Amino acid sequence: MTLHSEAESHLRRMRDRMTRERMPPLHTVEPERARAWLRETISDQRPPLPASDMVEDRTLPARSGPRAVRLIRPAATGDETLPVVLYFHGGGFVMGGIEESAHEAHRLAEAGPALVVSAAYRLAPEAPYPAAIDDGYDALVWTYENAPRWGGDPRRLTLAGCSAGGNLATAVAHLAAVSNGPRIRQLYLLCPWLDLTLSQPSVGAFASGFGLDREEIEANAEAYVGDSGDAGDPMISPALHDPPRGFPATRILAAECDPLRDEARLFARRLGRAGVPVDLIEAPGMIHAFDLWLHAMPAGRASVEEAESALVPT
């Protein structure tokens, strides 16, 4: 379990920035301040987005009110009918958004190629469980019904998410399976957060100094679960439970030096025992959510490309 030198350099740059800007650990400040700092940091450090892709911002009529979505389609695909990827951003259910995860959404569009629908959802602590799941399921139904307007084929639908977004994608897939909802052909989870009880060994092994400290995980779990949830519930910690019948084939991208690594491994084993087709790709030496920072950690690109080589379901 050796941290890659590129990951070390990235972590050092992030620590230096926080010191320079006198920013305490993000989970210790008010959510709006943490969100703004993360948004600005990503904007300052990321390379330019592809200028040629079709990008359209819309709103969908969720049960909770209008929710933002962004549709991305590679320009080179012309009028071709494309598979669809519905993507949920990460951020511990407390931070993140469509803008912060734009590079990943564009990469998924190019990797397919696919029509990507990047969907926003309500954040904790203002909107704890099950608000994000309600918004996520509404985004699934809207995407399934409306993707053809942008040349997407909802019969070839992948549900994807990074970190907390991976948890949300899994919960939405669970709901779709048990309620005879829209058919999801594939689930793609990137460094997913699948056990909010923090009961896996990797949470202790990488508790500090690897970019996602145990204290931050605990604070975000408390904010999301709130007063009405149970951290052990299958809709909150799916790694602790067998999947329902009809659960989609799943691809998981994990990172070796991630406190959430072992829950990805556990979930993959559960899926396999239940007969769900599953592939687990683990990036050596990488840290949590490295897939969002490939410009800083290009050594992780090979694992991402392996995971996304089969992004489009056949």
Active-site residue flag, 135: no
Residue 87's DSSP bridge partners are 118, 160
C-alpha 70/C-alpha 66 separation (Å) is 13
Question: Looking at residue 250, what DSSP letter applies?
Answer: E
C-alpha 175/C-alpha 244 separation (Å) is 9
In the set 101, 106, 288, 303, the catalytic residue is 288
Residue 125: asked if its preceding bond is cis (omega within 30°), the reply is yes
Active-site residue flag, 4: no
Look at residues 247, 130, 251 and name the one whose alpha carbon lies nearest to residue 177: 247
In the set 101, 118, 163, 202, the catalytic residue is 163
C-alpha 2/C-alpha 65 separation (Å) is 46
- Token readout for 309 is 């080589």
Sequence letter at residue 8? E
Look at residues 111, 114, 116 and name the one whose alpha carbon lies nearest to residue 101: 116
Strands in 278-283's sheet, in edge-to-edge order, are 54-62, 65-73, 115-119, 82-88, 152-162, 186-190, 249-255, 278-283
In the set 258, 262, 291, 303, the catalytic residue is 258
Active-site residue flag, 163: yes
Helix (H) or strand (E) holding 92: none
What are the residue numbers of the active site?
A: 163, 258, 288
